[in-house]
Chains A and B, each alone.
Chain A
Amino acid sequence: MKRRVISLVLACTMAFSLAACSGGAAEAPAEAPANNETEAAAEEPEAAAPEETAEVASELVDGKFPDTRHISVEVYDRGNDGGSDPTNNMYTEYIKKGMLDKYNVEVEFVAVPRWTETDEINNLLAGGSAPDICVTYSYPTVKTYADMGGILDMRPYIDDYKDILPNLWGWLGESNLYWDSDPNDGTTWAIEAKLANMNRVLTFVRKDWLDTLGLKEPTTKAEFHDMLVAFKDNADKLLGKDAGKMVPYSVSYDVGWRAATLIESFIDPKISDKEYYVNGFDDRKLTENGTKDAIKLLNEWYNEGLMWKDFAIYGSGDTTEDDMMKAGYVGAFTHNWDYPFRNGEDSIQANLARLVGPEAKYVAIDPFEDKNGGHTKFLAGPIDRKVFFPATNDEPLASMLYLDFISDPETIQYLQIGDEGVTHNVLDDGSFEIIAATGDAIQNSGMNIDYTITCNGLHLTTDELTKNSLAHSYAGIDPEDVLHANDIANTDTIIGINVKVGDIEAEGGVGETLSAKRDEIYDKAVSAPVADFDKVWEEGLSDYLSAGGQAIIDERTEKWDAQYTSENIR
């Protein structure tokens, strides 16, 4: 519901900003009042970049700006119940103070709603009022604006300032800094944050239900199915008067994510790098071989009444499903590897214990076997969010220094674990245990990833510390459960690779259309009558392919063949 409200507001603002963004470049610098000296540079970023380097090296006196600079930084607003103000809390104070002391740079945070981030960033960019440092999960957005000339090429800054960016280089390295670099001319529209923890999607089940019914944790699809049936048949025993509300297995409208491990179990674990890449435009794996079989199985389960009947009518960001989990109606679900542990006092696990009973909890399981009997999980590359500078950024040096500051191991550690006694306790072995914080110290996102924009996942000053602390990093959650989930998430993983074949032109401008179609296909196919499944799937897929999907597959094939001689490049 929230998403709809926000979207409505967005649409209205957009209508106005479209009208108002007359001379994008001409107006933008005026909107972000900045230093007079640098204003000229902003208008012609690329031309000015090399000459600026020499000038800029002398701009810093003892590693500091002689005059105070001002930059704005995007931060996600997750709208958590009882969260802290994302633009003003204990952590933003730490960053602001750090940047001011170290570089004489004033930092201002600009909140962007997490679940509509792409829309919002679009509006800010189109309106010429985007923050100096932007963050998004959507590379196509970055690319589209880059093609319009709305984004700075970061390559000169990355390379020329290398000496004064030791932390950034040390943490991201060439791999992530150059991840999106053009193989021909090196232009880099965004740098990729590093995924410190690559765990992706897992399936969770109600441990107490298994115990009540005397069931083992399922290890195959057949056992998983039997378990769902057992849940359904024993609804009265498990839920009493709420039996009618039981959902044995739950997915959301985003089936491709919320059934990811099931879908992946149908893909050949020996799939070639080429095949995986060629069909890999859609990160929900719609066009990979095997996906159809996975959805067909879901469709059967749906029609047997084993799944949440209403899943498709609730949109992104809606909390209905979470609430059902918290209230204890959901038997099993597939989601991010730490989903039930997140959010401290408001976590699914904590709510279950409060609302249902102390024995009620979700545990991770690995029930979907692939054709070789393993439990293959396809991970993305070690990349996370994309950090970029819009063309309206007239403080590229200060912005790069910010990225360096935020990649400093000390900064990351502080943002992730906070103060002793407030957000963490130190355990006997020196590792940290996260405790539920209150007020200003509440982390709105797990381990404050919204501030550590170059890092996602626990990353403390030493690997040893990280490993020992991970299990204790979810306030109020049994460390054993976290370790167990972490182990499963690391079973039979295949890590994504960076395929550098240059731009795929067919991908331009169709991302939104295709992902909307993908969701439609998944949702309709899962909820179709069994007899109609093939028809619904084939119709949907052919529509998807003819709307641009096929062109992408063809161009990817062609460019792969031009760049590589082998089907496998690892």
Chain B
Amino acid sequence: MDNETVVKVPRKKFNSAYIKRHYQLYLLLLLPLIYLIIFKYLPMWYVLIAFKKYSIVQSITEMPWAKNHGFEYFIKAFKNRDFLRALRNTVKLNLLDLLFGFPVPIIFALILNELRLKKFKKVVQTITYMPHFLSWVIIYGLALQLFAPSTGFVNLLLGKMGLEAIPFLNDANTWVKTYIGLGIWQSFGWNSIIYLAAMAGISPELYEAASVDGAGRFQKMWHITLPGIKPTIVVLLIMALGNVIGSGFDRPFALQNKLVMENAEVIATFVYKIGIKGLQFSLTTAVGLFQSIINVFFLLGANWLSRRLGERGIW
């Protein structure tokens, strides 16, 4: 389900002498290349399962084609309300993530960049990175301790203050906010690294010149820092858009429960439940293939748009 982003090397004329000279480097490249071929390209052959009646004992070429010219399972999927619900939720949660989650690391990086005290900056950075290394299962454990309706710390505190408990985890709509919020909390520190790196690359002369011209802090941020990291922002935005109907599995799966399925069932968890637990491999491969194709279109679209707007795009 993950999309491989192919980074192209600037084109060079094919030259065997060149390869001979740098053969060590090519050897080094070989291992990751084999990995990609075995784990990313060979499995693609098996998307055929989406068009065939899957059987564990037959090889992919032996399996009979599905009905309706092989499209039986696609038709089935689009007639399945649970799939449509999962599709809707995937788009909804990802767009919300993009809307609220995307700007946060940029703003955070801007603020961090303004800090003078090196030590303080380091400490803040380290603390905000940390959640990135926690698995979602652990984060859900923390969320239960904090947000459970009757035993969660936050709700106990609210109760002590005479306020109503907030159904962070057990109301479908509030759950969406919890989901987005936890996502931002988990990733903003980590995601800000790349922006900070981009900011470090901006020439200090620009700031000095601006200071001479009498620019204030906000003016410098607006006219120098932001334009300086704009290419980075665009690349990351394209990649995020390319994933708008994709989704990780662990985050929604770890956070969902029976009461919030209305908003929490996404394609990844749907595929797991129906395909892997419910043994409908063909149906869910069809769903997965559909998801990948849409993602590719989003990716191409976003890339095209960014070029139209005068940015570099990612290829």
Binding site for B on A (CB under 8 A): 1, 4-5, 7-8, 10-11, 14, 18-19, 21-26, 118-119, 122-123, 125-126, 128, 141, 144-145, 148-150, 245, 253, 309-310, 312-315, 391, 509-513, 516, 519-520, 523-524, 527, 543, 546-547
Contact = CB atoms under 8 A, between A and B. Distances in A.
Interface in B189-232: none
Nearest to B265: A516
A310 B148 CA distance: 7
A1 B137 contact: yes
Interface stretch (B28-36, B96-104, B235-243, B275-283): B275-283
Contacts of A118: 277
Nearest to B276: A14
Nearest to B284: A18
A514 B54 CA distance: 21
Contacts of B59: 22-26
Interface in B34-65: 39, 42-43, 46, 49, 54-60
Nearest to A253: B258
Contacts of A11: 249, 253, 272, 276
Ranked nearest first, the 10 interchain pairs of A and B with the lowest CB-CB distance are A512-B278, A23-B59, A19-B43, A523-B258, A148-B55, A309-B150, A149-B57, A313-B257, A25-B57, A150-B56
B255 to A, nearest CB: 10
A22 to B, nearest CB: 6
11 contacts: A4-B137, A11-B276, A122-B276, A122-B279, A148-B54, A253-B258, A511-B278, A512-B273, A513-B82, A513-B278, A543-B81
B86 to A, nearest CB: 12
Chain B interface residue bracket vs A: 35 or more
A312 B279 CA distance: 25
A111 to B, nearest CB: 20
B254 interface: yes
B261 interface: yes
Given A11-B249, A512-B273, A516-B273, A24 B58 contact: yes
Nearest to B58: A24
B274 interface: yes
Contact of B253 (A4, A19, A128, A141): A4
B58 A313 contact: no
A524 B148 CA distance: 16
Contact of B259 (A5, A313, A510): A313
Contacts of B276: 10-11, 14, 119, 122-123
B277 A313 contact: no
B144 interface: yes
A19 B281 CA distance: 12
Contact of B149 (A310, A510, A513): A310
A18 B271 CA distance: 13
A519 B265 CA distance: 14
B299 interface: no
Given A24-B58, A118-B277, A312-B170, A527 B253 contact: no
A339 B231 CA distance: 62
Given A25-B57, A125-B56, A519-B258, A513 B42 contact: no
Nearest to B144: A313
A204 B54 CA distance: 47
Nearest to A517: B82
A512 B151 contact: no
A328 to B, nearest CB: 15
A146 to B, nearest CB: 11
Contact of A4 (B169, B254, B277, B281): B254
Contacts of B140: 1, 4
B55 A312 contact: no
B141 interface: yes
